[in-house]
A and B are shown apart, each in its own frame.
Chain A
Amino acid sequence: KNEVEQSPQNLTAQEGEFITINCSYSVGISALHWLQQHPGGGIVSLFMLSSGKKKHGRLIATINIQEKHSSLHITASHPRDSAVYICAVRSGGSQGNLIFGKGTKLSVKP
Chain B
Amino acid sequence: NAGVTQTPKFQVLKTGQSMTLQCAQDMNHNSMYWYRQDPGMGLRLIYYSASEGTTDKGEVPNGYNVSRLNKREFSLRLESAAPSQTSVYFCASGVRTGIYGYTFGSGTRLTVV
Question: Which residues on A are within 8 Å of B, measured CB to CB?
Answer: 2, 4, 30-31, 33, 35, 41-45, 48, 50, 86, 88, 95-103
Q: A31-B99, A41-B109, A50-B99 are in contact. Are A102 and B42 (CB under 8 A)?
A: yes
Contact of A41 among B44, B88, B96 (CB under 8 A): B88
**A45 adjacent to B101 (CB under 8 Å):** yes
Q: A50-B99, A95-B50, A97-B48 are in contact. Are A44 and B42 (CB under 8 A)?
A: no
| Residue B104 at the chain A interface, CB threshold 8 Å | yes
Question: Which residues on B are within 8 Å of A, measured CB to CB?
Answer: 33, 40-45, 48, 50, 56, 58, 88, 90, 92, 96, 99-104, 106-107, 109
**B104 adjacent to A97 (CB under 8 Å):** no
In the bound assembly, the distance between CA atoms of A4 and B23 in angstroms comes to 27
Apart from A88-B43, A101-B42, 12 more pairs, CB < 8 Å = A30-B99, A35-B102, A41-B107, A41-B109, A48-B100, A48-B101, A50-B99, A96-B96, A97-B48, A98-B43, A102-B41, A102-B42
Contact of B101 among A33, A96, A99, A103 (CB under 8 A): A33
**A45 adjacent to B45 (CB under 8 Å):** no
In the bound assembly, the distance between CA atoms of A101 and B70 in angstroms comes to 31
